[in-house]
Structures are given as C-alpha cells and as structure tokens.
Amino acid sequence: MHKFLDKIKSIESKPKIIKEFLNKKEIENFQKLYEKLPIEINNKRQKIIKKKWSETYFPDLQKLYIKKLETVINDFKMDNPKTLDGSNSLGLFQESFKPVSLHVDTGFNFDKVIYKQTLLPLSNEGETIIFKNRFYGCSTTFSIDPEELSAKGYNKRSSEHLMLYNQRPFDEKMYNKYLKHEDLNNLKGLEIEMVYKWRLGDLLIFDRTNLHCSSSNLKNKKIGFTTSTIKK
C-alpha cells in the first residue's frame, strides 16, 4: 500500500481528454520515433510489442513533449521503467494486436506520490476503458483466470480487486458493447468512468490509481504511447 495516501488522493481527478495536443507534424515525428526504437518486449501470448522511449532518442521531441505535458498536468517527474540498457525512459510504446486486460499502473515504490498517467494514440483504432474504481497497491493485472494468475510478467497478478468493491454484477449492456474479452465475473463491483475512443493528436490523462483496460473493439491493431508520472 502506498504510504502517502492522503496526498495521492488529494491530487486525484476525473480523466480528461486534451484535444489536438499534438499537431500533424508532431504526430509524424512520434510515429518516426516509434519506428526507430528497438523492440524490448515481443509478448506472443499477449500479442503485444513494447518499446521504451530512451532519453538517447529524439532529444528535441523529448523537450517538446515534456513542455507540452507541463501545460496540462503542471509540476511532475517522469516515473517510467528504465530501458534494457539502463537509460531513463519517457514512457512506453505498445503495439497491441489484442485487447489489453484489466490492470492498474501504480508502480512498485510505495514511497512515491504517484500522479497522472497519459495516453497518446498513434493510431485512430482503439478504445480505452477507465473505471471509477481505484487501487493503492502495486502495479497489478486483475484476473480470475488461473492461467493468467500463474503467468509471469512486469505486473503482479491478482484477483484481490473482487474483495475491495461491492459484488454488484457488472452492467451486461456495457459488457457486450465494450468488454467481451474479459470474464464478466472479473468485473464484479466495477463501474465505468469513461470510454475513450482513440484519436490521433489527442492526449488522455487519468490517475495512476484508476483501474483500466482496452475495449474489445479492436479489428486489427493499435499503437499508443503511455507515460507515468509522480508529483515533484
């Protein structure tokens, strides 16, 4: 459990979308950056390719990105896993060929005041589901599937979320529309805060304590860039 819960909760807010955060040229530069970066993870089970934005790549774009972030989330520090060669990272690119399951990106250092997480779509295909429910433990993938619970990965695997919220059945209409890749029973007690339909140039901002996942509406693939932050 994070130590500075009162501080973390005091800076929480509802998710929001910044329209036209990037212009056309800036979007193209991010897409070029993605093509240049080396693959760090190619998870065939989850059908996802991951690349970290090392501080050694595209320094001018880094300065631009950080400056733009400061205008929408104010004072922050980056809090992203280092690259395989030990360099600092501005975040994670993910090329997903199947929906990403229910999880939270709260990190593993409970001495930090975790802050905002941002999503920058690099494709127009994709939807992200943000839940009202929050979690204050470490980064966790939530599942009731025995295979997933025994899988090894960056996140902890757990079904403890089912003990934290009420056992009210999840809205079946919303389930059939957005979340058929999840087990309906894995969503008990959860309530949707926002359904964000990806759009090039937008920036989605939400708290790192929000449970979230992809929607099941993925025909081909999606590419997005996420940044995790802490408060200065």
Q: Render pLDDT for 132-145 as a digit per residue (tens, 0 to 9).
A: 999 999 999 999 99
The tokens for 209 are 């304590």
Contact indicator for 99, 142 with CB cutoff of 8 Å: no
Q: Render pLDDT for 201-220 as a digit per residue (tens, 0 to 9).
A: 999 999 999 999 999 999 99
Domains of the chain: 5-230 (2.60.120.590)
Q: How confident is the model at residue 2 (pLDDT cuts 50, 70, 90)?
A: confident
Say how many residues make up the chain: 232
The backbone torsions φ and ψ at residue 44, rounded to the nearest 5 degrees and listed phi first, read: -75, -25
pTM over 0.75: yes
The tokens for 161 are 């979320």
Of 217, 212, 67, which is closest to residue 132 (Cα–Cα)?
A: 212
The backbone torsions φ and ψ at residue 211, rounded to the nearest 5 degrees and listed phi first, read: -65, 145
Contact indicator for 125, 222 with CB cutoff of 8 Å: yes
Q: Render pLDDT for 146-178 as a digit per residue (tens, 0 to 9).
A: 988 988 888 899 999 999 998 899 999 999 999
Partners of residue 224 on adjacent β-strands: 94, 121
Angle at which helices 59-73 and 24-36 cross, to 10°: 130
| Residue 219 backbone class (left: φ over 0; alpha: ψ -120 to 50; beta: rest) | alpha
